[in-house]
């Protein structure tokens, strides 16, 4: 009977010790976090089998309350150590939404002799991979005085995919210390501990840790709360019922909190000060948001707003709201769709301020904006650019000891946009980077915010695991009201649906399943979809005017919107995709319905939005119109091709006649607007908006500016658009659906 002491994974030379885990690959020592190593052991004991996420969580974390984030981090670490590829795995394959599979053949040996698998008529060749027993056991003597033989398990493996040369020089053992590093590599990835336990129908919307590390303030759809970390005791802040606010930053006394309050249908922001000890909220500033309190509590950095200019300027004021002054302007704030600043954090001494500046066209997803991590003197001078990267995201914190933490997109091909936390050392005097970026923790979902304690020992982050999902809704008989929506797809992947087939029986959508973008067609009464096109960064499926082709955009590099974008077509009857045209900066395109044959695309040149006709056989045609003065890039073409509806800002629509060139601007009072689509009869525009209480709605807006609510949603969901079917009976509703949105904590990172 085999005595199970330890387990080893080896292609040439692997050693596992009970007390030390690390990997030596090519002579380099790469420590491995213990939980990740236990995940590897569990997979090795079950080669070729599908192991569910729940099985791994139960086996490795032993009923401790952790989310899939912890498992995702461990798998990511193992892949880095093994040099594995997510999309073409040689060792660990992901089975989407279910679990993982170890791809190598595994053989168990005892005392140096291989024990072939009885079910394998052709066992793989054995590689000598003896595992020494514990060091203290190796020193034990037999009764006769001879050394005791080490007892353990030995594995030999062949990779399922053909390998030209076996990987040599792997040594696995437990990491002695998190400070054992090679160059700038982090010794192990930090483990996140859950701080809040909200269900998907009450997602956390923001969370910040107090400077002393005792409390976390957070907001969800039901209100504003604080939680004592050590005991889990949770209490609501003493604010009025209509006080809708998100926590921004604690004051240094860990008793007072700075929050942004949102009021009215347009969600006008203002900055307020709250106290754990009670008392009425104190308003500090109107029309301001995203406040950050300096480490000594004497100053507050903030962004004036709201509206299209929000984030173009950075201001300071004293902690009582006095002595307001501008200290920075975004680099291209004066240009259409220019730069914006957010978020803002202080250095530990208060000498400098760091922030993320995003810039670029608001082009259709999956095109990406550019992000820059910058620091400057707290008086506004001495600008230093620390990082420029499209994968840099909008969560930031400056830790005692000289590190700036930031969110970073792990996999550029992932539809989920999973983000990890990275760090970079920055000299607080000069504001310049002094190290290469390092991984603190990967994870699942978007990092919404980061905050640290004053001693730098605790980090709290909140994650959004939210997906875009398509729903089908039906119009009530004899009315413009919509019935309760139902999901189009039954899987957990996100999808973006933006077109109907001409018979109103099927929907066209794109999704990034298994790491590759695909364009799908699915009947509204079906449960599975048909793949039409597969390729890089497919987006914006539309139907040709005659209904025979699906049109779509293809980005060569989503992170570089200056490159030409390809507008493609593919016959719904079958056949390969074909190029229609290539242009730089295509923002949107759309076709009418027969008998009209008009198709239009738009691009931005300077401050002008230029509208150009095109034909799916012959490419670009003539310029039809140009206009300026609106910051959004979205517009919609009426089914008969006679009018454009342009969405100027949060409260105005411009109706532009393509026959006469006459434009008429309409104000929609009390409803913040983003985008919209013409109704099937061309008499109105369906638009998404939100009530003063944060409830999402779909509005039916006519050309006189009259708005009527046709659908009201769940307060925790965000509506993006509703596209009516050609026969007027159904609608595609695109919405964000929250998942596990909660706050997590990392200690001693």
Tens-digit pLDDT profile for residues 284-314: 999 999 999 999 999 999 999 776 678 889 9
Q: Contact 447/720 with Cβ under 8 angstroms?
A: no
User: Is the whole-model pTM more than 0.85?
Assistant: no
* pLDDT on residue 243: 92
Q: What is the spatial distance between Cα 684 and Cα 662, in angstroms, rounded to a whole number?
A: 18
* pLDDT on residue 16: 38
pLDDT-derived band of residue 107, with 50, 70 and 90 as boundaries?
low
Q: What is the spatial distance between Cα 687 and Cα 720, in angstroms, rounded to a whole number?
A: 8
Q: Which residues pair with 605 in a beta bridge?
A: 608
pLDDT-derived band of residue 572, with 50, 70 and 90 as boundaries?
very high
* 119-138: average pLDDT: 32
- In 10 A of CB 492, how many CB atoms? 12
Q: What is the spatial distance between Cα 533 and Cα 517, in angstroms, rounded to a whole number?
A: 8
Q: What is the DSSP letter of 6?
A: -
116 vs 743 pLDDT, higher one: 743
pLDDT-derived band of residue 154, with 50, 70 and 90 as boundaries?
very low
Q: Contact 102/43 with Cβ under 8 angstroms?
A: yes
Residue 78 clears pLDDT 50, i.e. is over it: yes
CA angle centred on 744, ends 740 and 748, rounded to 5°: 155
Q: Closest Cα partner for 489 from 651, 706, 746, 732?
A: 732
**Per mean pLDDT, which range of 34-48, 59-73, 113-127 is the poorest?**
113-127
pLDDT tens digits, 411-427: 765 555 788 899 999 99
Mean pLDDT for the chain? 80
* 453-482: average pLDDT: 90
* 668-690: average pLDDT: 90
pLDDT tens digits, 207-242: 999 999 999 999 998 999 999 999 989 999 989 988
Q: What is the spatial distance between Cα 420 and Cα 87, in angstroms, rounded to a whole number?
A: 19
pLDDT tens digits, 134-153: 333 333 333 333 333 333 32
* pLDDT on residue 184: 35
Structure tokens at 338: 């220019």
Q: What is the spatial distance between Cα 468 and Cα 118, in angstroms, rounded to a whole number?
A: 48
Residue 157 clears pLDDT 50, i.e. is over it: no
Q: Closest Cα partner for 453 from 188, 317, 249?
A: 249
**Tokens 């994870």 appear where?**
443
Structure tokens at 232: 């889990």
pLDDT-derived band of residue 66, with 50, 70 and 90 as boundaries?
low
* pLDDT on residue 120: 38
Q: Contact 227/234 with Cβ under 8 angstroms?
A: yes
Q: Contact 601/529 with Cβ under 8 angstroms?
A: no
* pLDDT on residue 19: 42
Residue 362 clears pLDDT 70, i.e. is over it: no
Q: Contact 654/645 with Cβ under 8 angstroms?
A: yes
**Dihedral through CA 68, CA 73, CA 74, CA 79, nearest 10?**
130
Q: Contact 742/194 with Cβ under 8 angstroms?
A: yes
Q: What is the spatial distance between Cα 94 and Cα 84, in angstroms, rounded to a whole number?
A: 12
- In 10 A of CB 8, how many CB atoms? 23
650 vs 269 pLDDT, higher one: 269
Residue 624 clears pLDDT 70, i.e. is over it: yes
End-to-end CA distance of the chain: 43
* pLDDT on residue 67: 67
pLDDT tens digits, 729-742: 999 999 988 888 99
CA angle centred on 79, ends 73 and 80, rounded to 5°: 90
Structure tokens at 94: 């992901």
* pLDDT on residue 412: 63
Dihedral sign, CA of 63, 67, 72, 77?
negative
CA angle centred on 625, ends 623 and 631, rounded to 5°: 120
Residue 583 clears pLDDT 80, i.e. is over it: yes
* 594-605: average pLDDT: 90
Q: Contact 288/300 with Cβ under 8 angstroms?
A: no
Q: Which residues pair with 602 in a beta bridge?
A: 588, 611
Q: Closest Cα partner for 469 from 449, 497, 445?
A: 497
Dihedral sign, CA of 179, 348, 258, 448?
negative
* pLDDT on residue 35: 81
Q: What is the spatial distance between Cα 553 and Cα 603, in angstroms, rounded to a whole number?
A: 13
Q: Contact 386/433 with Cβ under 8 angstroms?
A: yes
Q: Does domain 22-172 bear CATH number 3.40.50.1820?
A: no
Q: CATH class for domain 193-464?
A: mainly beta
Quick check: bond before 577 cis, omega within 30?
no
Q: Contact 535/556 with Cβ under 8 angstroms?
A: no
In the chain, where are the structural domains located?
Answer: 22-172, 193-464, 467-738
* pLDDT on residue 181: 31
618 vs 673 pLDDT, higher one: 618
* pLDDT on residue 632: 61
The per-residue b/e assignment along 364-387, b for 16 or more CB within 10 angstroms, e otherwise, is bbbbbbbbbbbbbebebeeebebb
Residue 486 clears pLDDT 80, i.e. is over it: yes
Q: Does domain 467-738 bear CATH number 2.120.10.30?
A: yes
Do 22-172 and 467-738 share a fold? Answer: no
- Pairing state between β 684-690 and 696-702: antiparallel
Cα separation values, 326 from 320, 341, 380, Å: 17, 13, 8
């Amino acid at each position: 009977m085999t005595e199970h002491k330890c387990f080893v994974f080896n292609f040439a030379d692997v050693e596992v010790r009970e007390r030390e885990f690390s990997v030596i690959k090519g002579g380099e020592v790469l420590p491995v976090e213990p939980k990740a190593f236990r995940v590897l052991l569990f997979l090795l004991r079950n080669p070729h089998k599908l192991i569910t996420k729940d099985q791994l969580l139960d086996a490795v974390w032993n009923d401790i309350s952790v989310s899939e984030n912890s498992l995702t981090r461990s798998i990511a670490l193992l892949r880095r150590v093994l040099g594995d590829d997510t999309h073409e795995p040689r060792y660990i394959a992901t089975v989407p939404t279910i679990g993982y599979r170890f791809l190598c053949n595994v053989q168990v040996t005892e005392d140096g002799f291989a024990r072939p698998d009885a079910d394998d008529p052709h066992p793989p060749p054995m590689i000598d991979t003896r595992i020494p027993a514990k060091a203290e056991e190796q020193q034990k003597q037999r009764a006769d005085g001879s050394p005791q033989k080490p007892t353990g398990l030995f594995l030999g493996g062949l990779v399922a995919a053909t390998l030209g040369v076996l990987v040599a020089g792997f040594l696995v053992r437990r990491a002695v210390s998190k400070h054992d590093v090679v160059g700038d590599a982090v010794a192990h990835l930090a483990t996140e501990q859950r701080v809040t336990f909200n269900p998907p129908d009450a997602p956390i919307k923001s969370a910040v840790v107090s400077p002393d590390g005792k409390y976390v303030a957070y907001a969800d759809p039901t209100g504003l709360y604080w939680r004592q970390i050590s005991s889990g005791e949770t209490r609501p802040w003493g604010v009025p019922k209509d006080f809708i606010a998100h926590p921004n930053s604690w004051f240094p006394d860990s008793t007072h909190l700075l929050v942004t309050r949102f009021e009215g249908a347009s969600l006008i922001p203002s900055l307020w000060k709250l106290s754990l000890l009670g008392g009425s909220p104190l308003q500090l500033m109107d029309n301001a948001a995203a406040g950050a309190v300096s480490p000594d509590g004497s100053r507050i950095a903030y962004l004036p707003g709201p509206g299209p200019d929000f984030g173009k300027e950075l201001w300071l004021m004293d902690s009582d709201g006095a002595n307001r002054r501008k200290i920075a302007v975004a680099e291209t704030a004066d240009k259409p769709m220019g730069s914006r600043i957010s978020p803002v954090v202080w250095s530990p001494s208060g000498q400098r301020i760091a922030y993320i500046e995003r810039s670029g066209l608001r082009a259709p997803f999956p095109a990406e904006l550019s992000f820059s991590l910058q620091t400057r003197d707290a008086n506004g001078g001495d600008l230093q650019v620390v990082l420029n990267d499209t994968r840099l995201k909008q969560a930031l914190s400056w830790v005692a000891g000289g590190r700036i933490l930031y969110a970073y997109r792990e996999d550029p091909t992932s539809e989920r946009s999973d983000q990890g936390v990275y760090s970079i050392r920055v000299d607080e005097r000069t504001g310049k980077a002094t190290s290469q970026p390092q991984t603190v923790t990967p994870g699942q979902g978007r990092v919404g915010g980061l905050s640290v304690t004053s001693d730098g020992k605790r980090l709290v982050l909140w994650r959004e695991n939210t997906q875009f999902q398509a729903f089908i809704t039906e119009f009530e008989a004899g009315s413009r009201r919509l019935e309760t929506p139902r999901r189009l797809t039954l899987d957990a992947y996100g999808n973006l649906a933006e077109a109907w087939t001409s018979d109103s029986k099927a929907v066209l959508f794109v999704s990034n399943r298994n790491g590759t973008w695909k364009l799908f067609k699915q009947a509204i009464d079906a449960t599975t979809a048909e793949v039409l096109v597969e390729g890089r960064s497919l987006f914006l499926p539309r139907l040709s005017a005659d209904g025979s082709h699906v049109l779509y955009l293809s980005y060569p590099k989503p992170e570089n919107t200056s490159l030409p974008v390809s507008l493609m077509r593919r016959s719904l009857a079958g056949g390969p995709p074909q190029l229609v045209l290539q242009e730089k900066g295509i923002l949107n395109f759309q076709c009418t319905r027969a008998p009209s044959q008009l198709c239009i695309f738009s691009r931005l040149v300077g401050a002008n939005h230029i509208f150009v006709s095109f034909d799916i056989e012959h490419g670009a045609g003539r310029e039809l119109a140009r206009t300026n003065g609106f910051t959004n890039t979205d517009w919609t073409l009426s089914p008969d091709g006679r009018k454009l509806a342009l969405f100027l800002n949060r409260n105005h629509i411009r109706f532009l006649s393509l026959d006469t060139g006459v434009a008429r601007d309409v104000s929609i009072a009390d409803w913040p607007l983003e985008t919209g689509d013409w109704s099937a009869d061309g008499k109105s525009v369906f638009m998404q908006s939100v009530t003063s209480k944060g409830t999402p709605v779909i509005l039916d807006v006519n050309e006189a500016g009259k708005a009527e609510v046709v659908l009201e949603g769940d307060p925790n969901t965000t509506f993006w658009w509703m596209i009516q079917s050609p026969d007027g009976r159904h609608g595609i509703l695109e919405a964000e659906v929250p998942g596990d949105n909660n706050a997590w904590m990392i200690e001693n990172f």
